Chain A
Amino acid sequence: MSNASDVLQVSLWRGGAEGGFKTYEVPLRPNQTILDIVTWVQRNLDATLSYRFACRVGMCGSCAMMVNGHPRWTCRTHVAKVAQKGVVEIAPLANMPIIKDLAADMRQFFDKWVVAHGAFAGSKTRADEIELIKPAEPARVAVDAAIECINCGICYAACDTVRWNPEYLGPAALNRAWSLNNDVRDADHAGRLAAVSADGGCHNCHSHQSCQAHCPQSLNPTRSIAGLKRLSTQAYLRGDLKP
């Protein structure tokens, strides 16, 4: 490398949980993203480097990693924004087991979506009339505010409560539950509310708001979780919910 100012010192996590950081020199380019760096290392320096990506344009949620200690979507994170004196440290997403190198095992993240009844439960058939939904209705406004999640796991990696309590369902699953419980077409509101009101559910949230601070889609899972707490409290006081 010719000029120090043209070179980035990039530390990448290598190996599994017992692995460590290895430093590489990567040429600095204009408009370079963190994913560009990782890809450059794999193609030019070490083909055994494992990482996960797909769309490269911020839609699929596959490429999230820890960048200088913060979870970020790497395909939309410019090096110029996050490099600290020409140094970048990239690790697999926190709060998840490491598979290898920069690839985290996201099974528990998605399993918790299932526990939180994250699947839409339809109550109609194709023979029924289409439900008319007015965009300005408060419930639909709440759905719209929470619906653009791309399942990247960044909020889960940023969450202190997930780190402290492995049973906690996490911001994404709870945000999904909130959006479905505001969907008038869904038929599992009571079952879902019971699921997110049990041990490990929405009441564990400490409202630190790391999820909304890091969400690349600018969603606010803390607000969704607060909504679930409200619904859950009302249902419990009515006697509809028995934990």
Chain B
Amino acid sequence: MNVRFYIWQRATAAVMLPMILVHLVVIFYAMNHQLTAADILSRTQGSIAWGLFYGLFVVLASIHASIGVSNILREWGHMKARLAEMAASALGVTLLVLGLRAVAAVVLP
């Protein structure tokens, strides 16, 4: 962990925090109004705002998690720095692809 990774991890966390609160409010709203999957998709499909919101969240989560996992692999897995960074980068790319796929599934018309 150097200053660059430190700032990226803290900055992504700072942006994700209010986004998580918005996400929780959305979940409570959907439950309270007993929205079905079809109701939700009718609101999200074609919505640029929801696409950008969850797309950004996926990017931030991928960066944040990969830096954290790299640290865990080094400290608890006793991996060499290069190997830990490669493994964590692979995880980050996987999260990014899976997350963006999920966003696309609910946003694309």
Contact = CB atoms under 8 A, between A and B. Distances in A.
Nearest to B76: A164
Q: Is the interface of A mostly helix, strand, loop or mixed?
A: helix
A49 interface: no
Contacts, number: 34
A216 interface: no
A164 B75 CA distance: 5
Interface string A218-238: 000000000001001100110
A164 B6 CA distance: 18
Contact of A203 (B2, B74, B75, B81): B2
Interface residues on A, range: 10 to 19
A233 B2 contact: no
Interface in A45-63: none
Interface residues on B, range: 10 to 19
Contacts of A82: none
Interface stretch (A83-91, A183-191, A194-202): A194-202
A197 B2 CA distance: 6
A241 interface: yes
Interface string B2-28: 111111000000000000000000000
